[in-house]
């Protein structure tokens, strides 16, 4: 198996880690020259991709790739990987067996706390989620033309080592915002990596919600982390009066419970089915930093 990661960030690097023993080659892109050494240290052959042109170095690397994972963010002008590398994927990747595209549960929009699944129509609220819908369509069209299976993984709010409520409580940025009825799903980065491995090794196509079993109010998550740490949680504050950036406020405009039944039906077992299990394990194992 030869893997290439467009956007070797937090989630893609976790996938590279679990695939280290199975893959003969793992390449990955970054826009930041300062991150090249860190990728190499993680066993990823690093490539610079600024989203503006298809470098010959990446084109050459793609020639032998069997599994392509895309986690770059689209913008107003579309998906940068599709824009620069669609011709390469169509004509010069003779060994390609599978594509995985990392999207977001934000594509569903707001459902007033109701349950959604992969059959729910997309009605994105934010511009960034609308861009994801267009990127999903673009990748599906390319995969259909190329006749290669595409898995679209719609991710919930990502957390894991270095990115969690323990960190926020430690550095003083944790908040307990209360908006009546508001819930979010979450997903530990290890389960993103696990789901990717599960789907990639089966060359499985389809749309999959990669999310936990327990949509919960965000203030409860902070309170539970504080309880494990043995510290006082921050006071709850009212969402309506809280000083938030427009992006932070927009997250609260989407309220839904997201089902993960489809990937579980295929046989995937979540390592961390809820935040309680994950936070307890991270605190016990000192893996939260």
Q: What is the pLDDT of residue 221?
A: 97
Q: Which residues of 120-147 are buried (b: 16+ CB within 10 A; e: fewer)?
A: bebebbbebbbbbbebbebbbebbeebe
Torsion, CA 215, CA 217, CA 219, CA 220, rounded to 10: -60
**pLDDT value at position 59?**
98
Query: What per-residue confidence (pLDDT) applies to 279?
Result: 98
- Cβ distance 127 to 74 under 8 Å? no
- If we measure between CA atoms, which residue out of 151, 167, 207 comes closest to residue 15? 151
> What DSSP designation does 233 have?
P
DSSP class per residue in 190-212 = HHHHHHHHHHHHHT--EEEEE--
The residues that bridge with 150 in the sheet, in sequence order, are: 99
* pLDDT (0 to 100) of residue 172: 95
Q: Quick one: pLDDT at residue 244?
A: 87
**Who's near 155: CB < 8 A, 6+ residues apart?**
11, 102, 103, 104, 105, 187, 192, 210, 211
The pLDDT assigned to 249 comes to 86
Distance between the two ends of the chain, CA-based, in angstroms? Answer: 31
CA separation for the pair 12, 196 (Å, rounded): 9
236 Cβ neighbours under 8 A, 6+ residues apart: 176, 177, 178, 219
User: What does the pLDDT read at residue 246?
Assistant: 87
- DSSP 8-state assignment for residue 234: P
Contact (CB, 8 A) for 136 and 152: yes
What three-state secondary structure class fits 255?
Answer: coil
* Tokens of residue 250, six digits: 């927009």
Question: HEC string of 56-99?
Answer: HHHHHHHCCCCEEEECCCCECCECHHHHHHHHHHHHCCCCCCEE
Reduce the DSSP state of residue 153 to 3 states and report it: strand
Contact 284, 225 (CB under 8 A): no
The per-residue pLDDT for 179 is 95
Taking the C-alpha atoms of residue 246 and residue 248, their distance in angstroms, rounded to an integer, is 6
CB 89 within 8 A of CB 61: no
Separation of alpha carbons 189 and 14, rounded Å: 7
- Choose among 51, 28, 32: nearest CA to 40: 28
pLDDT of residue 151: 98
pLDDT of residue 250: 86
Mean pLDDT in consecutive groups of 10 residues from the start of the chain, 289 residues: 98 97 96 95 96 95 98 94 98 98 98 98 95 98 98 98 98 95 98 98 98 97 98 94 86 95 98 98 97
């Amino acid at each position: 198996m030869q893997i290439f990661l467009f956007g070797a960030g937090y989630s893609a690097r976790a996938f590279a880690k679990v695939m280290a023993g199975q893959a003969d080659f793992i390449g990955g892109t970054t826009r930041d020259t300062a991150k090249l050494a860190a990728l190499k240290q993680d066993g990823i052959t690093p490539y610079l991709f600024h989203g503006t042109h298809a470098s010959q170095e990446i084109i050459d690397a793609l020639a032998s790739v069997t599994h392509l994972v895309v986690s770059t963010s689209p913008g107003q002008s579309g998906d940068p990987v599709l824009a620069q590398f669609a011709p390469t994927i169509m004509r010069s990747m003779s060994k390609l067996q599978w594509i995985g595209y990392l999207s977001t549960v934000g594509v569903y929009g707001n459902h007033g706390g109701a349950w959604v699944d992969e059959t729910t129509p997309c009605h994105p609220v934010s511009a960034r989620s609308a861009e994801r819908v267009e990127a999903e369509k673009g990748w599906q069209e390319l995969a259909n033309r190329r006749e290669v299976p595409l898995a679209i993984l719609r991710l919930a709010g990502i957390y894991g080592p270095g990115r969690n409520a323990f960190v926020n409580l430690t550095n003083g940025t944790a908040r307990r915002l209360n908006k009546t009825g508001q819930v979010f799903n979450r997903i530990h980065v290890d389960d993103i990596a696990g789901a990717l491995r599960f789907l990639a090794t089966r060359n499985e196509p389809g749309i999959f919600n990669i999310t936990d079993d327990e949509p919960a109010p965000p203030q409860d998550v902070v309170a539970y982390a504080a309880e494990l740490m043995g510290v006082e949680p921050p006071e709850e504050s009212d969402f309506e009066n809280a000083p938030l950036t427009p992006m932070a406020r927009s997250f609260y405009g989407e309220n839904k419970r997201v089902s993960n039944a489809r990937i579980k039906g295929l046989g995937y077992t979540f390592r961390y089915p809820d935040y309680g299990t994950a936070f307890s394990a991270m605190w016990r194992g000192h893996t939260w930093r």
